[in-house]
Amino acid sequence: MNHNVALISGGTSGIGLATAKKLLSQGWNVVISGRSRERGEQALQYLGEIGRTAYVCGDVSRDEDCARMAAATIRRFGRLDGLVTAAGYYEEKLLEQVTPVDIQHMFAVNVYGTMYLCQHCLPYLKSSGGAVVTVSSDAGLQGNIACSVYGATKGAVIAFTKSLALEMAPHDVRVNVVCPGDVKTPLLDRQMAADQTVTEESIKQNYPLYRICTAAEVANAIAFLLSKDASYLTAVALPVDGGLTSW
């Protein structure tokens, strides 16, 4: 049985929670993090693997919280083999509508949070010869309207990931990034609730596969990149987008 250990930021919902479920099914032990302790406890109940899961409350935009997440993982399970940086958020605004505070906050969560957590986990990943999967977006690969700031953060995640992969290659630590399009998550539900013109039907028309991705499908890609089946893949930006970025 596989007893590798993964830390997943943003692990209490959406892609992060689906990834936790997938890795547990493959024998991993999993630590999830998120800002809401209530949602963390609910996520643990949903996962249902007492003894193989743990929750750490924290905000990835705070460096000290990221240090605590990494340390808590080692205290709980004694090692770290996989890191998934799924914490992040999406917001559609034209640049002329965005405030400096908006820009700073989105970079703090989507970019700095990814960097902080990777930095604090690297010593443990070097020891295990582990792997990292960051989470970007189709918007990090190509421009989207009303997504100039969000796209910039996700483009930064891709550039960061590829550079970190080169730094970590001598230590046998692989670093890759997944780039999903729209995914059926609570985040997408909030987006549709905020704009009644956005529906599942209107969204799926943008995709060659003519449907919206599920969180489980992104989780499958992440689990593959963490696995030994992807042992010669590093510095890869993998679209999980139903063909969107080739449309």
Enzyme catalytic residues? 150
DSSP state of 212: P
Measure the N-to-C terminal CA separation of the chain; round to a whole number of Å: 41
State the amino acid at position 179 in one-letter form.
C
Closest CA to 81 of 44, 158, 133, 116: 133
Cβ(52)–Cβ(24) below 8 Å: yes
The two three-digit tokens of residue 9, written as one number: 């930021």
Report helix, strand or coil for 134. Answer: strand
